[in-house]
C-alpha cells in the first residue's frame, strides 16, 4: 500500500451472482458510512472470477439497488444520470476479469520466492484424500503432495498436463510453523497456528485467480486502508495476511462484522424467506427506512435515537460501536420503522409512491381525482406498514365490496338481548341500514365531511336511543365489506369526495337487500 497517504479507503466487492442479499447491503453500508465518517473514499469493485456463477444483468441490478438506497461509490462502478453503467477512478480497472495479467504476474513472483507452488493433483485424487480425512475425522486439507517437487519433477508434470490438455493450479505455501495474528478492529486479536491452515489454491486451472489471491492484490493496488466484511471471512484472513507478508506489502486493517441471523438464531438465508434487497423495495419498504433498519443490524450509536437520516448515520457511525454477536433480522422492527417514515411523508409524495401499488391491484388511478387519492392516502397513512398493503386495504374505495350478509350484524348484539328494539339481529341491522339510507338522502353534499357526519349520525343514534355499535358496525361494513377498517365517518366522507353521496346510498341499499 502506498504509505504516502493516510486517507481512509474502503471497498465493497460483491460477486455478480444474482439478487442483492440484504447482508451484502449491510456490508456495503458499513463500509460506506465508515469512509464518509472519516472523509475517506468508498470503492465498488466487481469480483467476477467465479465464472460458473455469473448472472447476466446482476451488476446493473446491484447498481440500481445501491443508487436507490443512496450508497453511491466514489470510485469503481456506478450508474450515471441515464442509468448507464460507468466506471471511474485512477486505480482500476475495477472488474477482476480485466486484471488477470496482474494476478498471474504476482503468482509467478510467489512461486519464485517459494511462497507458492504448482499442484498437479487430479480431482479424483483430491476427492479420495477428502474421503479418507473425513473417515479419520480429520479436517479436510490438502496434504501438500506437490509442495516439495524438484524442478525436474515440476517440468515433467507440466509436460504431462499439457499433453492431457489441462493446466495445474497454483497453491499458497503456508508456513508450517508459527502463528498468524489478526488484529481485528471489532473482535480484537485472533491467533491461528499456521500448521492448521490449508495450502489454498491461488490460481485455478483456467487461469483465473481465486478470491484469496485477487482480493489481496486488488486491495493492495487500490490502496484499501480498511477491509470491512462479515465474520465468516475470519478463517481466511490469516492466509491473506500471510500473502501480504509474502509480497512484502503492508496489510490493511480488518473489521469483521457479525452475521445476520433469523429470529431462531440461524443464519439469514433465502430458505427462510425473502432476503433480497430488491424484494423489500418491491414490497414498499422505503429506501431511507431500509437503510435506517440495516444500519442497526450489528451497530448501535449508544443513544436513544432510533430514526436517522443518511447524513446523521455518517456523523454517528464508528466501528467501535459494532457488536460482536450476531444481529437478529427482526421484520417487525423493519415494519415499525417503515411505518414511521410513511407517516412522516407529505401526502402528495405518498400518493405518488402508492400509485404503482394501486395499479398492481388493478386500480385505474387515472379515473380518480388527485383529491380523492390524497384523501384515501391520508386515511391509511397512519396504518400502513409498507406501501404494498394499500391495494388490499383500500379496494372498497374503487369497487363495491363483496361480503357475506352475516358480517353486517353487530357481533356484540349476537349475544345480547334485543334491549326492547325488537326483531332478530339481521332484522335489526336491516332496519337501521334502511333508516341510514334515508338519512343520507336528506343530506346536502356540503354536510358529508367527517366532522359533520359524526355529529349528524350520533344525533341520529341518540334520538332513537340506539346503541352506537348496532348502527356504526353495519354502516361501516356496508361501505367497506370488511370486518376491520377505518371508522364509518372517515370512510363515508372519503367516499363522498371521490364517488359522491349516491354511491354511499347505493351501498347501504345493497346491504339492506343482502339482509
In a domain, 292, yes or no: yes
Give the CATH number of the domain where residue 478 resides: 1.10.10.350
Residue 334 bridge partners (DSSP): none
Shared domain check, 238 and 221: yes
- Give the domain-ending residue among 327, 354, 369: 327
Q: How many angstroms separate the CA atoms of 187 and 358, rounded? A: 47
Give CA separation, 38 vs 33, 35, 305, 441, in Å.
9, 5, 22, 67
Give CA separation, 53 vs 15, 82, 125, 254, 360, in Å.
9, 28, 25, 27, 33
User: Tens of pLDDT along 389-428?
Assistant: 999 999 999 999 999 999 999 876 554 444 444 447 889 9
The parts of the chain modelled with pLDDT lower than 70 are 1-5, 270-273, 412-423
Shared domain check, 214 and 142: yes
Give the CATH number of the domain where residue 351 resides: 1.10.8
Could you tell me which of 178, 243, 242 has the C-alpha nearest to residue 209? Answer: 243
Shared domain check, 72 and 143: no
In a domain, 86, yes or no: no
Shared domain check, 234 and 109: yes
In a domain, 94, yes or no: no
Shared domain check, 168 and 112: yes
In a domain, 399, yes or no: no
Q: Which residues of 478-514 are buried (b: 16+ CB within 10 A; e: fewer)?
A: bbbbbeebbebbbbbbbbbbbbebeebbebbebbbeb
Q: Which pLDDT value is given to residue 294?
A: 97
Shared domain check, 150 and 238: yes
Shared domain check, 474 and 435: yes
Structural domains of the chain, count: 4
**Residue where the block lists cell 434487497:** 277
Query: What's the alpha-carbon Rg for the chain, to the nearest Å?
Result: 33
Shared domain check, 267 and 250: no
Q: Strand 260-261 and strand 327-328: pairing?
A: parallel
Q: How many angstroms separate the CA atoms of 280 and 261, rounded? A: 17
Residue 321 and residue 299 in contact, taking contact as beta carbons nearer than 8 Å = yes
Q: Which pLDDT value is given to residue 410?
A: 87
Q: Which of 105, 270, 315, 411 is catalytic?
A: 270
Q: How many angstroms separate the CA atoms of 211 and 96, rounded? A: 10
- Domain with 134 in it: 99-257
In a domain, 338, yes or no: no
Residue 166 and residue 205 in contact, taking contact as beta carbons nearer than 8 Å = yes
**Residue where the block lists cell 478492529:** 185
Three-state SS at 358: helix
Backbone angles phi, psi at 333, to 5 degrees: -70, -40
In a domain, 91, yes or no: no
Give the CATH number of the domain where residue 163 resides: 3.40.50.620
Shared domain check, 243 and 178: yes
- Give the domain-ending residue among 201, 228, 257: 257
- Give the domain-ending residue among 257, 275, 301: 257
Shared domain check, 363 and 272: no
270 is annotated as an active-site residue: yes
Shared domain check, 252 and 103: yes
Shared domain check, 119 and 238: yes
In a domain, 109, yes or no: yes
In a domain, 333, yes or no: no
pTM of the model: 0.90
Task: 431-436: list long-range contacts, CB under 8 Å, 24+ apart.
Answer: 432/466, 432/470, 432/471, 432/474, 432/475, 433/408, 433/474, 433/475, 433/478, 433/508, 433/511, 433/512, 433/515, 434/508, 434/512, 435/460, 435/464, 436/460, 436/471, 436/475, 436/508
Amino acid at each position: 500500500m502506498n504509505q504516502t497517504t493516510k486517507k481512509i479507503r474502503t471497498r465493497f466487492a460483491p460477486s455478480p451472482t444474482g439478487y442483492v442479499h440484504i447482508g451484502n447491503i449491510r456490508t456495503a453500508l458499513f463500509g460506506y458510512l465508515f469512509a464518509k465518517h472519516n472523509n475517506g473514499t468508498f470503492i465498488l469493485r466487481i469480483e467476477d472470477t467465479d465464472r460458473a456463477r455469473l448472472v447476466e444483468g446482476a451488476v446493473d441490478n446491484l447498481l440500481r439497488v445501491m443508487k436507490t438506497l443512496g450508497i453511491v461509490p466514489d470510485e469503481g462502478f456506478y450508474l450515471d444520470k441515464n442509468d448507464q453503467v460507468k466506471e471511474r477512478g485512477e486505480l482500476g480497472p475495477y472488474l477482476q476479469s480485466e486484471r488477470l495479467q496482474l494476478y498471474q504476474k504476482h503468482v509467478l513472483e510467489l512461486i519464485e520466492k517459494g511462497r507458492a507452488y504448482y499442484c498437479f493433483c487430479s480431482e479424483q485424487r483430491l476427492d479420495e484424500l477428502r474421503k479418507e480425512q473425513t473417515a479419520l475425522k480429520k479436517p479436510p486439507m490438502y496434504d501438500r503432495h506437490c509442495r516439495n517437487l524438484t524442478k525436474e519433477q515440476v517440468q515433467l508434470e507440466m509436460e504431462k498436463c499439457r499433453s492431457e490438455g489441462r493446466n495445474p493450479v497454483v497453491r499458497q505455501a503456508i508456513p508450517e510453523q508459527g502463528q498468524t495474528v489478526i488484529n481485528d478492529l471489532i473482535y480484537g486479536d485472533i491467533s491461528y497456528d499456521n500448521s492448521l491452515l490449508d495450502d489454498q489454491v491461488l490460481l485455478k486451472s483456467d487461469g483465473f485467480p481465486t478470491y484469496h489471491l485477487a482480493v489481496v492484490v486488488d486491495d493492495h493496488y487500490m490502496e484499501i486502508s480498511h477491509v470491512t466484511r462479515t465474520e465468516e471471512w475470519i478463517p481466511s484472513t490469516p492466509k491473506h495476511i500471510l500473502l501480504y507478508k509474502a509480497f512484502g506489502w503492508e496489510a490493511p486493517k480488518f473489521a469483521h462484522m457479525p452475521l445476520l441471523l433469523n429470529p431462531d438464531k440461524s443464519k439469514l438465508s433465502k430458505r427462510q424467506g425473502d432476503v433480497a434487497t430488491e424484494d423489500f423495495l418491491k414490497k414498499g419498504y422505503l429506501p431511507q427506512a431500509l437503510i435506517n433498519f440495516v444500519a442497526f443490524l450489528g451497530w448501535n450509536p449508544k443513544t436513544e435515537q432510533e430514526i436517522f437520516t443518511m447524513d446523521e448515520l455518517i456523523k454517528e457511525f464508528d466501528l467501535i460501536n459494532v457488536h460482536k454477536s450476531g444481529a437478529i433480522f427482526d421484520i417487525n422492527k423493519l415494519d415499525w420503522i417503515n411505518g414511521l417514515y410513511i407517516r412522516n411523508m407529505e401526502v402528495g409524495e405518498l400518493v405518488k409512491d402508492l400509485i404503482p401499488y394501486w395499479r398492481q391491484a388493478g386500480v385505474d388511478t387515472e379515473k380518480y381525482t388527485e383529491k380523492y387519492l390524497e384523501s384515501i392516502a391520508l386515511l391509511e397513512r397512519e396504518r400502513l406498514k409498507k406501501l404494498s398493503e394499500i391495494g388490499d386495504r383500500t379496494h372498497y374505495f374503487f369497487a363495491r365490496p363483496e361480503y357475506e350478509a352475516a358480517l353486517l350484524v353487530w357481533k356484540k348484539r349476537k349475544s345480547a338481548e334485543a334491549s326492547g328494539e325488537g326483531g332478530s339481529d339481521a332484522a335489526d341491522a336491516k332496519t337501521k341500514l334502511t333508516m341510514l339510507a334515508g338519512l343520507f338522502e336528506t343530506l346536502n353534499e356540503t354536510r358529508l365531511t367527517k366532522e359533520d357526519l359524526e355529529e349528524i349520525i350520533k344525533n341520529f343514534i341518540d334520538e332513537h336511543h340506539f346503541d352506537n355499535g348496532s348502527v356504526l358496525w353495519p354502516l361501516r361494513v356496508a361501505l367497506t365489506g370488511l370486518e376491520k377498517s377505518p371508522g364509518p365517518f372517515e370512510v363515508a366522507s372519503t367516499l363522498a369526495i371521490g364517488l359522491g353521496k349516491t354511491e354511499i346510498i347505493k351501498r347501504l341499499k345493497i346491504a339492506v337487500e343482502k339482509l
